[in-house]
Chains A and B, each alone.
Chain A
């Protein structure tokens, strides 16, 4: 978007500095927001504690609606952290989109397919491990020939498709949103005062819509995560 990816090599692996800087900033934001909200924990909640408890209830509700009650324990925590992180990551690029020397420094890390596929890979691997841990290796393999043996290739393709769609869906939404923000900004400054006012309004409109999309995508990602895990764990 705002220039080339700023990559460097370390220990034989290629790193993208934009993603790493943005990721660290978002980690810090997520941590300090949650840290600040959980300082004065009381029996009778007040202020920030109410917000945090509402958030926990919200993600717990997503998990509870997808899996049996006795399995929710650890996954509700994963869902909570995933939701908060992806939500902040999605909104981050709408506010901070920083470039320097034609190289991006800050943007949404979720506008990069490598990052989103990292998260979907994490979730899918976790789901498969949970399936093996819960039903044993035999029970896990039997899941591929359900409802009958002929479905084996379809099931394998489905697993791969789950992994790709989970990551690429959020990448597509956030990437497209930020790209359009850039384009509208470019149009707004192209013809001076003639375009700056409609451009400003259009940018405002699209930013609001992007906030909405970012929240929905965080919700969808967490919901699908719990769906994939519960499908491996239950039955």
Chain B
């Protein structure tokens, strides 16, 4: 029955084709395996491996990045704190310096004022003393002039000279 159904299409059962197709198909499989299948499937396997390792690496590097970010955040917070400290310290030391400078200036001014007052007092005293001497001298001179009114010309001249000398002395 089977032989008849096959023979119905062809005039004779060509068994040779069977052998031909089996042999050539096996040769084709060997050729394709060597030239096309092997390189492509190897590459596909390699790619699959690479993708798997890439995924692992990506997870690892993400972890690292997260750690780094946390570290940066902490450092940033620290540096904020530090900056605030520095500013505070600077403010405090500035305040201290300001009060010191003001105090020193006030002290200086006080001392200057005192000395000036003392100088002024001294000058007044000196002036008073000088005036007293002058008054005494003047009164003495007036008195001596009144007394010497009766003198002669020579005496007069002498008197004038002495007076001028006294004046010069008094001036110097």
Identify the A interface with B (CB < 8 A): 4-5, 7, 9-11, 13-16, 19-20, 23-24, 27, 30-31, 34-35, 37-38, 41-43, 45, 49, 52-53, 56, 77-78, 80-81, 85, 109, 112-115, 117-119, 121-122, 164, 168, 175
6 A-B pairs closest in CB distance = A13-B16, A15-B16, A34-B36, A38-B36, A14-B14, A16-B14
A30 to B35, alpha carbons, bound, how many Å? Answer: 12
> CB distance A5 to B11 under 8 Å?
yes
Which residues on B sit within 8 Å (CB–CB) of A15?
14, 16-17, 20
A9 to B13, alpha carbons, bound, how many Å? Answer: 11
> CB distance B9 to A4 under 8 Å?
no
Identify the B interface with A (CB < 8 A): 2, 5-6, 9-22, 24-25, 28-29, 31-33, 35-37, 39-41, 43-44, 46-47, 50
Distance in Å: Cβ of B148 to nearest Cβ of chain A: 138
Which residues on B sit within 8 Å (CB–CB) of A56?
37, 40-41, 44
Distance in Å: Cβ of B67 to nearest Cβ of chain A: 31
**Chain A residue nearest to B15 in the complex (CB):** A13
Distance in Å: Cβ of B131 to nearest Cβ of chain A: 117
> CB distance A85 to B36 under 8 Å?
no
> CB distance B28 to A30 under 8 Å?
yes
A89 to B146, alpha carbons, bound, how many Å? Answer: 170
Distance in Å: Cβ of B4 to nearest Cβ of chain A: 11
With A5-B11, A43-B47: A77-B16 Cβ-Cβ less than 8 Å: no
Which residues on A sit within 8 Å (CB–CB) of B24?
23-24, 27
> CB distance B36 to A52 under 8 Å?
yes
Distance in Å: Cβ of A89 to nearest Cβ of chain B: 10
